[in-house]
């Protein structure tokens, strides 16, 4: 049954460290849908401790979860764009509550699975998936089974974070070509941090060499869209608004799934 798209741009501050994040989220969202819903206004990008960001960005983070909740309740195919991965503090608990059968495909250069005890940077965006999985209490909910998370493209992981990933049973597919078979016929929500691309292809706030090419990512997304039952997408960490059309073309394979 066809599901209409619901594209939402979160311009408000999550844990933005560079001013390009909100502009990138807006330009990409509008490239995907000129009638995308624009939420909030860009905040003041700056480096802050995770606890300060968690407090100051609470309204924006709650808005992210609310937008996903509304789209799923209405039977729409949600696509959210935001400055960084912190939105999953609320989106993934909402997903777990509404779709307990869902799997999360985590496409990112980083695991974002630190806790307040393991984080070397103090960055909220590097701790968000762990919170959604209940590793630490963000005060914004949890409930996502880490055994239903499948990572690909992750290549920059802190030592304490690696221990948490292994002990909590998060899945890792090292060969992108194997991903479609791993997710075949499963209901999948895609978290796409664009630093999964190699920094030679796309600038990143936290660059990690050895990432995917733009063609490689497009091929991976096409294979996943063909194999899995996609139920939604969130796209983060795009600090280059002038490249919005190019990125919209890369992620285009995800869009037809909304109408299947």
CB neighbours (10 Å) of residue 44?
Answer: 9
pLDDT band at 190 (very low <50, low <70, confident <90, very high): very high
pLDDT digits 0-9 by tens, 44-101: 899 999 999 999 999 999 999 999 999 999 999 999 999 999 999 999 999 999 999 9
Res 258: pLDDT: 47
Q: Which domain holds residue 14?
A: 5-259
Is residue 204 classed exposed, middle or buried when 0-12, 13-18 and 19+ CB atoms within 10 A define those classes?
buried
DSSP string, 219-232: HHHHHHHHHSEEEE
pLDDT digits 0-9 by tens, 80-90: 999 999 999 99
**Residue linked to tokens 């991965």:** 85
pLDDT digits 0-9 by tens, 145-174: 999 999 999 999 999 999 999 999 999 999
Q: Going by C-beta distance under 8 Å and a sequence separation of 6 or more, which residues neighbour residue 224?
A: 105, 179, 180, 183, 188, 190, 230
Average pLDDT (128-152) is 98
pLDDT band at 37 (very low <50, low <70, confident <90, very high): very high
Res 3: pLDDT: 81
Q: CA-to-CA distance for 83 and 80, rounded, in angstroms?
A: 10
Percent of the chain clearing pLDDT 90 (strictly above) = 94
Average pLDDT (10-34) is 95
Alpha carbon of 206 to those of 4, 16, 126, 209: distances in Å? 34, 12, 10, 10
Res 19: pLDDT: 87
Res 2: pLDDT: 62
Percent of the chain clearing pLDDT 70 (strictly above) = 97
CATH classification of the domain holding 60? 3.40.800.10
Q: How many structural domains does the chain have?
A: 1
**Residue linked to tokens 């979860």:** 65
């Amino acid at each position: 049954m066809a599901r209409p798209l619901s594209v939402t741009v979160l311009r408000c501050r999550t844990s933005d460290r560079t001013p390009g994040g909100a502009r990138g989220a807006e330009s990409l969202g509008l490239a995907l849908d000129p009638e995308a819903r624009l939420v909030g206004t860009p905040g003041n990008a700056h480096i802050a401790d995770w606890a300060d960001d968690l407090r100051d960005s609470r309204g924006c983070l709650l808005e992210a979860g609310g937008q996903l909740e509304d789209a799923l309740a209405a039977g729409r195919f949600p696509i959210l764009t935001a400055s960084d991965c912190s939105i999953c503090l609320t989106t993934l608990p909402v997903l777990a509550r509404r779709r307990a059968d869902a799997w999360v495909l985590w496409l990112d250069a980083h695991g974002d699975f630190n806790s307040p005890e393991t984080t070397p940077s103090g960055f909220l965006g590097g701790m968000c998936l762990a919170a959604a999985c209940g590793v630490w209490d963000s005060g914004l909910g949890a409930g996502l089974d880490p055994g239903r998370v499948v990572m690909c493209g992750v290549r920059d992981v802190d030592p304490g974070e690696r221990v948490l990933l292994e002990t909590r049973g998060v899945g890792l597919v090292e060969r992108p070509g194997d991903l479609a078979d791993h997710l075949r016929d499963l209901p999948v929500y895609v978290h796409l941090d664009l630093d999964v691309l190699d920094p030679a292809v796309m600038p990143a706030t936290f660059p990690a060499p050895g990432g995917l090419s733009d063609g490689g990512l497009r091929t991976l997304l096409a294979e996943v869209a063909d194999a899995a039952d996609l139920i939604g997408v969130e796209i983060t960490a795009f600090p280059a608004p002038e490249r919005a059309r190019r990125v919209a073309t890369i992620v285009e394979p995800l869009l037809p799934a909304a109408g299947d």
